[in-house]
Structure 1
Amino acid sequence: MTKQLKTIKIIHLAISLGVILAYIILGDKTYFTNFETPKVNSDSFIFMTIPLAAYFIANFLYKSQIKKNDKTLSLDRKFAIYHTATIMRLAVLEGGAFLILILKPELILFGILIILYIIFIRPTEDQFKRDFNIR
């Protein structure tokens, strides 16, 4: 079981490090060095919904893939469903983080929240067992 999880853990690590490096290289660090809070207006409100939309869409896609689980499926097929669901979730979150970075870099804090969530949802054996009701 650990061999199948190793692949998805490497993909998770690559996506996490890729987004972090993009934020380090392309991010506007002046908002952190001066501790400036971004000015919120009606234009920036639309961009503030990107993290929420990414969160809800990513989790919806993940759960809809996990629901394709059938008790009669083999463990390898369940891992394939888990890999697909996890990659879909990470891709949506990564897209949301990049959208914020490219379109509205002064709202970098919201992108960092997405990055923290990406790190938080690290795939584990316990999560796999919990999602597929394996004991």
Structure 2
Amino acid sequence: MEEKLKVTKMIHIALCSGLVIAYIFIGDVTSISFNMPALSQSNIIYVLIPIIAYIFSNFMFKTQLKAADKTLKLEANMAVYQTASIVRWAILEGAAFLILLLNKDFVLFGILIILYLALIHPTEDRVKTDLT
């Protein structure tokens, strides 16, 4: 189980570190003020992107996990878990990049997505909980 989980952990670390590096260099996070710009009808989409990404990524994750055979051992379902996790992380990563590339004024929402992505790192307990 631990060997199969290492691959998933490495993928997660690579995605998180790639986002952090992109936000440092492309977003120039060190020089951005984290003041929230005034919301209007034209920029409300930048607030909705993280919300939609959160809901959709969790929906896709749970939908993918339904394909796991509950009668098999956890090791046998690791491929399903890894696929579901990658789909979830890809949706969140895409949302963070979308915010970064479309409007740097809302970079705070992208940073919140990165923090959430870091918090949902794979652990053996989390795999057991999600697959049972």
Q: Could you say which TM-score interval applies, normalised by the shorter chain?
A: over 0.9
2:10 maps to which residue? 10
2:69 maps to which residue? 70
Unaligned runs of 5+ in 1: none
TM-score by length of 1: 0.91
For 1:28 and 1:10, the matched residues in 2 are separated by 26
Q: 1:125 corresponds to which letter in structure 2?
A: E
Cα drift, residue 40 of structure 1:
1.6
4+ aligned runs moved over 6 Å, structure 1? none
Unaligned runs of 5+ in 2: none
Query: Percent identity among equivalent residues?
Result: 47
Cα drift, residue 125 of structure 1:
0.2
CA contact (8 A) 1:28 1:106 kept: no
2:20 maps to which residue? 20
Select between 18-27 and 62-71 the one with higher mean Cα deviation: 62-71
For 2:56 and 2:16, the matched residues in 1 are separated by 18
Cα drift, residue 74 of structure 1:
4.5
Alignment of 1:45-56 (within 5 A): 45-56=44-55
Q: CA RMSD in A?
A: 1.3
Cα drift, residue 98 of structure 1:
0.2
1:100 maps to which residue? 99
SS in 2 for 1:10: helix
1:44-82 deviations in Å (ceiling 9; x for gaps)? 101210000100110000000111122233544300000
CA contact (8 A) 2:23 2:100 kept: yes
CA contact (8 A) 1:90 1:118 kept: yes
1:99-129 deviations in Å (ceiling 9; x for gaps)? 0000111100000000000000000000011
For 1:103 and 1:118, the matched residues in 2 are separated by 20
Cα drift, residue 36 of structure 1:
3.0
For 2:35 and 2:84, the matched residues in 1 are separated by 37
